Every structure is written in structure tokens, then in C-alpha cells.
Amino acid sequence: MLLAATTCVALGYMLANPIAIALESRAPSVSVGSVSHGSLRHGKRLPSRGVNFGAYSLLGLFLGRNTVNGRVRDAVVDAYAELRDSLPMGRFVYGECGWPHGGRFRPHRTHQNGLSVDFFLPVRDERNAVTTLPTWPWRGFGYGWEFDSTGRAGGLHVDFAAAAQHLAALDRAARRHGLAIQLVIIAPEYRRILARSPRGRDVLALLPFMQGKPWIRHDEHYHVDFVER
């Protein structure tokens, strides 16, 4: 009986996001206000998974914490599609986005108008094989990891080259959908490491990275704010 109940709960979590997407309004999304003080009309949820990406949490999907402006959704999905060809072995995980109607999104200070997305840093294991960052609940759904100044933690190390390729693809996809990347937040020491990767120097020159110290370190994920053009 307990197993059956557990299975039903898990199935409900898995089906919640596809059902919510199927029931979404076809009206274009409207982002109101700013990322730190705003709201969202006709929000669109990101898919639960794709060939080379997945969401950070079934619970987060169930609650609708993967909702963005429709143009942001399209840009995020298109960037992953581009990486299927340019980085076929890459595996990516997206994190928190916002509520279906926007507004205060605890514990984040932003994510209020559908134009913010967290992306977990791509990682490799001790054998240098591509893997994904574990986002178990007891790891704070991924946010509880603590990577050191070189990008290492618990037998994992950050694949900075893949992160640079993802950011470059995301910038191109954003422009195709009438957006621009307004801000990227990542641990300050990681900017120097990114610069040493094949595409990193170009990405650092192209995109507006936060130059100051963020209120949390952003060592396991990078935060991206978009702006409509």
C-alpha cells in the first residue's frame, strides 16, 4: 500500500508540469516591472527535460517554480537545441525561474517578472566524464553545494568550457527571440577561469557580468537576467 501511494505521488509530480504546460494560455507573456519588483502575465513553464537538459527538481516543477516569460522559455530551449550539435556530449540542468504570476520569489531577491533563470554549472566527475550536478533535496535542490575557488567539490569539477559555450548559445538564442542578456552573476573568481576556456574570453567581453560581489556566492550556478528589446 505504501509503495503504491509513493508511486502515485511520484507519478503526480512527473505529470504536473506537462499537464500545466498543456493548459497554459496561448496569449503572449507580459513581463511587468523589473526582475526585483515585478509580476508576470501569461507565464510559460520550461519543459521538464530534453535530450541534453533537465530541471533541478520535480517538486519545483510541481509548484510551478520553473515559469518564465514565453520568449525566455523559447530562448532557453533553443540554446539547448544548438548545443546538441555543437556540444553533443554536454548535459545541463536549469534551476529556479519564477512563479506563474511572478512576484516575490523567496529566497531569491529577483526572479519576479519572468526574465530571470538560474542555470547550474555543468560538471565532470573524477574520471573527467560528463555528468550532472546532483540536486537532491538534502543538497538544497542543488543550491547547497559549495565549490572551491577552482570549481571543485565532492569529486566533481566545473566544466568551464561547457559553461562558456552555453552562455554563448544562450546569448544568440536570446537575440533571435527579441531579448538580450542584461546580467550574468557568477562567483567572481570563476570569471578568471572562464577567461582561460576556448570561448570564455569572448563571452566575458560580450556579456555583462556582475563586477561586484553578489549577496550569495553563485559557485554552483550562474544567474541570468534577460531584458526585452
Give me the CATH number covering residue 79: 3.30.1380.10
Q: What is the pLDDT of residue 14?
A: 79
Name 54's bridge partners. Answer: 49, 93
Range of the domain at 40: 2-228
Q: What is the pLDDT of residue 3?
A: 47
CA distance 61 to 75: 19
CA distance 85 to 18: 26
Q: How does residue 10 score in pLDDT terms, banded at 50, 70 and 90?
A: low
pLDDT digits (tens, 9 = 90+) for 54-95: 999 999 999 999 999 999 999 999 999 999 999 999 999 999
Give mean pLDDT, residues 120-143: 96
Q: How does residue 13 score in pLDDT terms, banded at 50, 70 and 90?
A: low
Mean pLDDT score across all residues of the chain: 93
Q: What is the pTM of this model?
A: 0.94
Number of domains in the chain: 1
Contact 152, 189 (CB under 8 A): no
**Range with the lowest mean pLDDT among 37-41, 202-206, 223-227?**
202-206
Q: How does residue 138 score in pLDDT terms, banded at 50, 70 and 90?
A: very high
Record the cell numbers describing residue 94, joined without a space. 536549469
CA distance 69 to 24: 12
pLDDT digits (tens, 9 = 90+) for 172-216: 999 999 999 999 999 999 999 999 998 899 999 999 999 877 778
Nearest CA-CA partner of 153 in 177, 133, 170, 173: 133
Q: Which amino acid would we find at residue 223? A: H
Name 34's bridge partners. Answer: 37
Name 131's bridge partners. Answer: 123
Q: How does residue 140 score in pLDDT terms, banded at 50, 70 and 90?
A: very high
CA distance 101 to 154: 37
CA distance 136 to 76: 23
Q: What is the pLDDT of residue 11?
A: 57
Give mean pLDDT, residues 9-19: 75
Contact 176, 72 (CB under 8 A): no
Q: What is the pLDDT of residue 217?
A: 86
Give mean pLDDT, residues 128-157: 96
Whole-number Cα distances in Å, 138 to 123, 145, 151:
19, 10, 21
- The DSSP bridge pattern shows strands 44-45 and 67-68 to be antiparallel
- Residues in contact with 194: Cβ distance below 8 Å, sequence separation at least 6, in sequence order: 160, 163, 164, 186, 200, 203, 204
CA distance 116 to 226: 6
pLDDT digits (tens, 9 = 90+) for 88-118: 999 999 999 999 999 999 999 999 999 999 9
CA distance 152 to 162: 15
In the chain, the percentage of residues whose pLDDT exceeds 70 is 94
88: helix, strand or coil: coil
Q: What is the pLDDT of residue 148?
A: 96
Record the cell numbers describing residue 41, joined without a space. 502575465
Contact 212, 181 (CB under 8 A): no
